[in-house]
């Protein structure tokens, strides 16, 4: 959606990259739901969070055409790695070409398949997790990821405000809204973490695993 706010945010966002522009263009041409791509503003935030936190091991759940993974990889230190989890194997060529153009292909390991199964095969500790896949599975991803995160590590969950539906006077009962509302409530009550939701795009919740658990 091209609102004046979005245009303003874009014109004041420092991340510039021909490779990212190429991924965005190809996503528009070759996929049915290009709006799923996170975009330059959120991508810039993700890259900066990787840099500020010094994260070296990252899991991404839901890579789509590889845009957000490329942004995070641009913030990694030498030797850092992202495990990118994506169920749609038709997107693999596009992802890999975009990562090659961005010069980050060596630091991203792609796992094609259901994220729940892949998560069960990974070993921690990880510094950061970015969750952006099936909204109905957010709670499952979270429960699988928390033990994989190091103390003080953090998880970012995207789309948690779901177009405002989760805080509507009458919360709609469709499966995605219901699952996200339950996820948000569960995280807010979980004593193992501290959390804050940023109203960026469709809501981005930052969840930090407490120390000394």
Ligand X SMILES: C[S@@+](CC[C@H](N)C(=O)[O-])C[C@H]1O[C@@H](n2cnc3c(N)ncnc32)[C@H](O)[C@@H]1O
Question: Applying CB under 6 A, which residues contact ligand X?
Answer: 36-38, 62-64, 67-68, 85-88, 114-115, 132-134, 137
State the Cα–Cα distance between residues 8 and 16, nearest whole angstrom: 15
Of 28 and 88, the one with the shorter C-beta distance to ligand X is 88
Supply the minimum distance, in Å, between the C-beta of residue 97 and ligand X: 15
Contacts 24+ apart (CB under 8 A), 117-122: 118/83, 118/85, 119/59, 119/61, 119/85, 119/144, 119/145, 119/148, 120/144, 122/59, 122/83, 122/148
Supply the minimum distance, in Å, between the C-beta of residue 65 and ligand X: 6
* Cα→Cα distances 73→111, 181, 184, 194, Å: 16, 30, 27, 25
3-state secondary structure of 96: helix
Is there a contact between 176 and 167 (Cβ–Cβ < 8 Å)?
Answer: no
Of 117 and 192, the one with the shorter C-beta distance to ligand X is 117
State the Cα–Cα distance between residues 107 and 129, nearest whole angstrom: 15
Supply the minimum distance, in Å, between the C-beta of residue 173 and ligand X: 21
State the Cα–Cα distance between residues 70 and 82, nearest whole angstrom: 9
DSSP characters over 61-73: E--TTSHHHHHHH
Of 55 and 212, the one with the shorter C-beta distance to ligand X is 55
Is there a contact between 102 and 72 (Cβ–Cβ < 8 Å)?
Answer: no
Supply the minimum distance, in Å, between the C-beta of residue 202 and ligand X: 10
Supply the minimum distance, in Å, between the C-beta of residue 71 and ligand X: 8
Of 86 and 127, the one with the shorter C-beta distance to ligand X is 86
Of 61 and 192, the one with the shorter C-beta distance to ligand X is 61
Of 30 and 192, the one with the shorter C-beta distance to ligand X is 30
State the Cα–Cα distance between residues 182 and 92, nearest whole angstrom: 32
Supply the minimum distance, in Å, between the C-beta of residue 183 and ligand X: 15
């Amino acid at each position: 959606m091209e609102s004046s706010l979005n245009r303003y945010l874009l014109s004041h966002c420092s991340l510039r990259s021909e490779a990212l522009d190429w991924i965005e263009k190809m996503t528009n041409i070759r996929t049915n739901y290009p709006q799923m791509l996170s975009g330059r503003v959120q991508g810039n935030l993700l890259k900066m969070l990787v840099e500020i936190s010094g994260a070296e091991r990252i899991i991404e759940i839901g890579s789509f055409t590889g845009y957000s993974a490329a942004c995070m990889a641009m913030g990694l230190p030498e030797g850092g790695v992202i495990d990118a989890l994506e169920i749609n194997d038709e997107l693999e060529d596009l992802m890999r070409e975009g990562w090659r153009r961005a010069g980050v292909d060596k630091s991203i390991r792609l796992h094609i398949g259901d994220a729940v199964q892949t998560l069960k095969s990974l070993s921690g500790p990880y510094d950061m997790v970015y969750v952006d896949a099936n909204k109905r599975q957010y709670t499952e991803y979270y429960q699988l990821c928390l033990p994989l995160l190091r103390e003080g590590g953090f998880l970012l969950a995207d789309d948690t405000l779901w177009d405002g539906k989760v805080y509507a006077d009458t919360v709609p009962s469709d499966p995605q809204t219901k699952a996200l509302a339950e996820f948000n409530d569960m995280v807010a009550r979980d004593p193992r973490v501290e959390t804050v939701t940023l109203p960026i795009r469709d809501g981005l919740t930052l969840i930090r695993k407490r120390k000394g658990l």
